[in-house]
């Protein structure tokens, strides 16, 4: 039985400074997966228009996210790094997926509900259709694995639903053209054109929470800069933000189960564990019973030790935007070749006439 070739795809929006949540939830996994998989990493600039349409520093933010990719250790020669808008096939496939997906599916997305808030009727059509473009980003390469933070799990699941409906709706054409790949869907063996991509979400920091409110995720668009640690923050800023991080008055518990119901404490322990590449149990074994006045400086030192070299490398890369532009242009050309090969077949499957 032939199978889809394992391929990793993921993206990050240029909507502001990357933060510790983006790093621990996504970027660090991107780097690790390079050793075992072919990877495509994308700065999803078209997605960022759903947050801010008129965006004075979009080009610079796109370069900044690329600098973070490279500074974290992504190798643009062995793998592919580019910005989404260079490869028009993403938008073309997204349109087709808009016709495959159902409005009800989009309306159920938690991120849409959170971002649209009470004024849904007034939110952009792009915000509603965001998961369709994300499905296209992944499937235009027929990628099989998608490393993301926990907040994106629902969108990857929707990507699977879209792939499955496309495979089903066009099953006859896929068989006639002989372009299907055999795969198991539940108990059933089917012949599909698109894989059902797997989200890769694991580790102690799949959802890093705001430093100001343990019930909200750390986010680029939070108006409070104190809510997040930016990858570009200097040592003093990191120490100040951790010192000011909201906590309860109790010392850390002596057992990891004691973190339940203490979201801020749980978050800081999770961050420590992720940065130290250990477990919450081990952190509690070392710091259980300690007051935050002891734990916070240790966490600040660890964060500075891990993040400072990356911040320095980002600054070095940002001083030469010409080099970043070359990386994105060359990556875009390689990505376009792969995406066009998929789209040629998709157009044939659908029956769109082409040259």
Q: Which stretch binds ligand AQP (CB under 6 A): 10-18, 247-255, 331-339, 341-349?
A: 10-18
Q: In what helix (H) or strand (E) does residue 199 lie, and over which residues does it extend?
A: strand 198-200
**Which of residues 217, 238, 267, 287 is near ligand AQP by CB under 6 A?**
217
Tell me how far apart the alpha carbons of residues 287 and 50 are, in angstroms, rounded to a whole number.
42
Region 155-214 residues binding ligand AQP, contact defined as CB under 6 A: 206-208
Query: Are residues 148 and 156 in contact, defined by beta-carbon separation less than 8 angstroms?
Result: yes
Total of chain residues touching ligand AQP, rule CB under 6 A: 20
Name the catalytic one among 29, 220, 241, 296. 220
Q: In terms of Cα–Cα distance, which of 70, 200, 217, 197 is closest to 143? A: 197
- Please state, in angstroms and rounded to a whole number, the distance separating the CA atoms of residues 185 and 173: 19
Of 55 and 336, which CB lies nearer to ligand AQP in the complex structure?
Answer: 55
Residue 235 φ/ψ, nearest 5 degrees: -60, -45
Q: How far is the CB of 52 from ligand AQP (least distance, A)?
A: 9
Q: Is 217 a catalytic residue?
A: yes
Binding mask 138-157 for ligand AQP (x = CB under 6 A): ----------xx-xx-----
Q: Given candidates 9, 21, 85, 227, which one binds ligand AQP under the rule CB under 6 A?
A: 21
The C-alpha atoms of residue 205 and residue 29 are separated, in whole angstroms, by 11
Residue 230 near ligand AQP by CB under 6 A: no
Helix intervals (H) in 289-320:
292-318
DSSP state of 26: I
Nearer to ligand AQP, 183 or 201 (CB): 201
Q: What share of the chain is helix, strand, coil (3-state, %, to 5)?
A: 55, 10, 35
Does the protein bind ligand AQP through residue 15 (CB under 6 A)? yes
108 or 189: CB nearest ligand AQP: 108
Residue with CB nearest ligand AQP? 25
Binding characters for ligand AQP, 48-77, by CB under 6 A (x = yes): ---x--------------------------
Give the nearest distance from C-beta 134 to ligand AQP in angstroms. Answer: 9
Nearer to ligand AQP, 62 or 167 (CB): 62
Q: Residue 186 region, left (φ>0) first, then alpha (ψ -120 to 50), else beta?
A: left
Q: Pairing relation of β-strands 145-147 and 80-83?
A: unpaired
For the record, the structure tokens of 23 come out as 């790093």
Q: CB-wise, 149 or 332, nearer to ligand AQP?
A: 149
Question: Choosing from 113, 153, 189, 217, which is the catalytic residue?
Answer: 217
> What H or E segment, with its residue span, contains residue 7?
strand 7-12
Residue 126, helix vs strand vs coil? helix
Q: Does 25 bind ligand AQP (CB under 6 A)?
A: yes
Which of the residues 115, 153, 165, 246 is marked catalytic? 115
The whole-angstrom separation of Cα 326 and Cα 63 is 11
* Residue 220 annotated as catalytic: yes
Residues in contact with ligand AQP by CB under 6 A are 12-13, 15, 21-22, 25-26, 51, 148-149, 151-152, 206-208, 217-221
Tell me which residues are annotated as active site: 115, 217, 220
């Amino acid at each position: 039985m032939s199978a889809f070739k394992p391929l990793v795809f993921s993206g990050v929006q240029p909507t502001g400074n990357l933060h510790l949540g983006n790093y621990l939830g996504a970027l660090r996994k991107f780097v690790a997966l390079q050793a075992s998989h072919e990877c495509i990493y994308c700065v999803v600039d078209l997605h960022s228009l759903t947050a801010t349409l008129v965006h004075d520093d979009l080009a610079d933010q796109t370069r900044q996210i690329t600098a973070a990719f490279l500074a974290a250790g992504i190798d643009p020669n062995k793998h592919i790094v580019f910005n989404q808008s260079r490869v028009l096939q993403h938008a073309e496939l997204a349109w087709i997926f808009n016709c495959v997906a159902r409005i009800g599916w989009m309306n159920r997305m938690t991120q849409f509900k959170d971002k649209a808030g009470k004024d849904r009727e007034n939110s952009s059509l792009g915000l509603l259709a965001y998961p369709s473009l994300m499905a296209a980003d992944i499937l235009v390469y027929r990628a099989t694995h998608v490393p993301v933070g926990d907040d994106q799990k629902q969108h990857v699941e929707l990507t699977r639903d879209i792939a499955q409906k496309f495979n089903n709706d066009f099953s006859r054409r896929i068989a006639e053209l002989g372009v299907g790949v055999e795969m198991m869907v539940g108990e059933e063996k089917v012949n599909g054109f698109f894989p059902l991509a797997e989200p890769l979400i694991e580790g102690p920091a799949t959802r890093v929470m705001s430093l100001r409110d343990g019930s909200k995720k750390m986010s680029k668009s939070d108006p409070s800069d104190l809510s997040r640690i930016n990858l570009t923050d200097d040592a003093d800023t990191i120490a100040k933000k951790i010192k000011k991080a909201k906590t309860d008055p109790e010392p850390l518990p002596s057992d990891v189960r004691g973190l339940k119901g203490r979201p801020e404490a749980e978050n800081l322990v999770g961050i420590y564990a992720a940065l130290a590449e250990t477990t919450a149990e081990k952190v509690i074994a070392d710091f259980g019973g300690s007051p935050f006045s002891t734990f916070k400086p240790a966490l600040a030192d660890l964060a500075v030790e891990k993040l400072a070299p990356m911040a320095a490398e980002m600054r070095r890369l940002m001083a030469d935007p010409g080099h970043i532009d070359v990386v994105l242009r060359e990556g875009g050309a390689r990505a376009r070749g792969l995406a066009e090969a998929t789209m040629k077949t998709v157009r044939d499957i659908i029956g769109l006439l082409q040259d």
